[in-house]
Amino acid sequence: MSAELSATPASGIQQLSVEEANILAAELRSQLRQGLVPSSDTPAIERMVAGLGDTRGLMRLTFAESLGAVGAAAVPTLCRALQSHDNVTVRRAAAKTLTLIADPAALPVLLETLLSDSDPVVQGSAVGAMAAVGEQALNPLLSVLVHPKASAMQQGLASWGIAFIGAKAPEALRQAASSPDARIRAAAIAALGEQIQSLGDDEARQLLLTALDDLDSEVRAEAATLMGKLQEPEWACPRLLPLLTDSEEQVRKNAALSLMKLGARDALPDLKASVEQEVQPGVRLVLELAISQLSK
């Protein structure tokens, strides 16, 4: 490559000037058009990673696609950038590029990034890269749900990643759905939909039914929501009706919303009876919405 590198930041990854980036990107685009894999030696990878800090989105895309073509050889340098680069644009782009490569070797750094990076976009991109790996990322993501210092946002991102993996890890999800930790059970139940629908997983279906009676209200609430997503009203509605009188208001809300989504007109008498007894204004509004929609 003909481009020379500029100054080196604290991360140890050098930076490109605009001219250097233009020359390098042109060379890389030419190689990609010819179906050639860019050089995978360390200096070449460092030049491409340096290009991830370019202010031009299309330019960053060229460098990311080139690194994606290089594959596993680029992972150590991308991980170093993700861990320590002082330019948040580079960290964001590094995480997104690791999504293209989907190498399990990056999982420890991606998990650390989710838990420690100050930028929410970097955190979200790290979860995306973890989810792209598939089943091997499930346990690290589950660990975030019980991490003592994980924020609600970090736990929410981890739950999204778990749901994205979904049916790619059916056995691991079934095990998680029976975890002694309610937070893990709730996240696993929320992610069971694909394997129930696409894989016809009867064991997962039974886990969902069990979750409707779980001692933890968050698990029951997630189960109630999933029942509404499966689009099986004859199976789901009789099991949702008892939740209209659940002790927790979120469970009652989710049950009513799922009945509404399922078009469960037969549930109208139960919904009307529930709204007459409901004392929580927020739940009453949801019940009244469900009644209104199902009465049309």
In percent, the amount of the chain with pLDDT more than 70 equals 95
Mean pLDDT for 221-240 is: 96
Same domain as 236, residue 195 = no
Specify the pLDDT at position 1.
Answer: 36
- Looking at the structure, do residues 196 and 268 belong to the same domain, yes or no? no
More confident residue, 8 or 132: 132
Residue 197 pLDDT more than 90? no
Whether residue 169 is found in the same domain as residue 198: yes
Residues 3 and 59 in one domain: yes
87 in helix, strand or coil? coil
Structure token pair of residue 264: 């469960």
Q: What is the pLDDT of residue 13?
A: 62
Indicate whether 136 and 204 sit together in one domain.
yes
Q: Is the pLDDT of residue 9 over 70?
A: no
| pLDDT average, residue stretch 166-180 | 91
Q: Read off the pLDDT of each residue in 171-181 and give the average, rounded to a whole number.
A: 93
In a domain, 117, yes or no: no
Q: Is residue 257 part of a domain?
A: yes
Judge contact between 191 and 173, C-beta under 8 A.
yes
CA contacts within 13 A on the Cβ side of 76: 7
Q: What pLDDT score does 251 carry? A: 98
**Mean pLDDT of all residues belonging to the chain:** 93
pLDDT of residue 27: 96
> 20-37 burial, b if ≥16 CB within 10 A, otherwise e?
bbebbbebbeeebeeeee
| Structure confidence by residue, pLDDT tens digits, 231-283 | 899 999 999 999 999 999 999 999 999 999 999 999 999 999 999 999 999 99
Q: Strand, coil or helix: what is 152?
A: helix
Token reading at 108: 């420890």
Asked if residue 110 belongs to a domain, the reply is no
Q: Are residues 237 and 204 in the same domain?
A: no
pLDDT of residue 12: 57
Q: Higher pLDDT residue, 5 or 88?
A: 88
When pLDDT is averaged across residues 23-45 and rounded to a whole number, the result is 95
**Residue 25: inside a domain, yes or no?**
yes
3 and 91 share a domain? yes
pLDDT tens for each residue of 47-83: 999 999 999 999 999 999 999 999 999 999 999 999 9
Please, which pLDDT band fits residue 166 given cuts at 50, 70 and 90? confident
Question: What domain count does the chain have?
Answer: 3
* Alpha-carbon span 186 to 223, nearest angstrom: 8
Question: At CB < 8 A and 24+ separation, what contacts does 243-248 make?
Answer: 243/212, 244/270, 244/271, 244/274, 244/287, 245/274, 245/277, 246/217, 246/220, 247/217, 248/217, 248/220, 248/221
- For residue 291, what is the domain's CATH number? 1.25.10
Same domain assignment for residues 64 and 134: no
Q: What is the pLDDT of residue 215?
A: 97
> Are 267 and 274 in contact, with CB atoms under 8 Å apart?
no
Same domain, 163 and 196: yes
Residue in the structure block whose two tokens are 């020359």: 23
Higher pLDDT, 189 or 12: 189
Provide mean pLDDT across the span 204-211. 96
Range of the domain at 289: 232-296
What is the structure's pLDDT at 167? Answer: 83
Residues 31 and 87 in one domain: yes
pLDDT of residue 242: 97
